[in-house]
Amino acid sequence: MFCPKCGASNQDGAYTCLKCGRVLRTKIVTRDRNYADDPSMRMIMPVGRSGWAIAAGYAGLFAFLIAPAPIALILGIVAMFDLKRNPEKHGWGRAIFGALIGLLGTGLLLAVFLIP
Ligand SMILES: [Zn+2]
């Protein structure tokens, strides 16, 4: 490419002119991404997610450790209602996971306490 100031020939993609030092191209400005619409970012950051779904997911995750399985079940159900009311929110996976593990854990708890 040719320098627009002095006309010197420069390598394609050169940042500045070799002869006069004029900046030939500005840094590529990446467009601001909408993180909420990026599935890979959603995996890392709780953007656009239902808080209830996150709570249900974690409660479900720890259901077998500290036995808050009924809490996970309740949170999962609340999360699903929350997600139905707010279709723009995400987190169905976590909500269902929390409710399912919560259900399993609750059944296990009941089995432990009720079956002699
Ligand atoms: Zn130049």
Across 30-44, 66-80, 99-113, least confident range: 30-44
**66-95 residue pLDDT tens:** 556 777 787 888 878 878 888 877 777 777
Q: What are phi and psi of 82, to 5 degrees?
A: -60, -40
Longest dimension (CA), the chain: 92
Angle between helices 92-114 and 69-85 (to 10 degrees): 150
CA of 30 to the centre of ligand 1 (A): 26
Q: Render pLDDT for 4-36 as a digit per residue (tens, 0 to 9).
A: 899 999 888 788 899 998 888 765 555 544 555
Ligand 1: centre distance to CA 80 (Å) = 62
Ligand 1 center to 55 CA (angstroms): 59
CA of 2 to the centre of ligand 1 (A): 8
* Domain boundaries along the sequence of the chain: 1-30, 35-114
Q: In Å, how far are 12, 17, 25, 113 from 93, measured between CA atoms?
A: 48, 53, 45, 30
Tell me, in angstroms, the distance from the centre of ligand 1 to residue 48's CA: 48
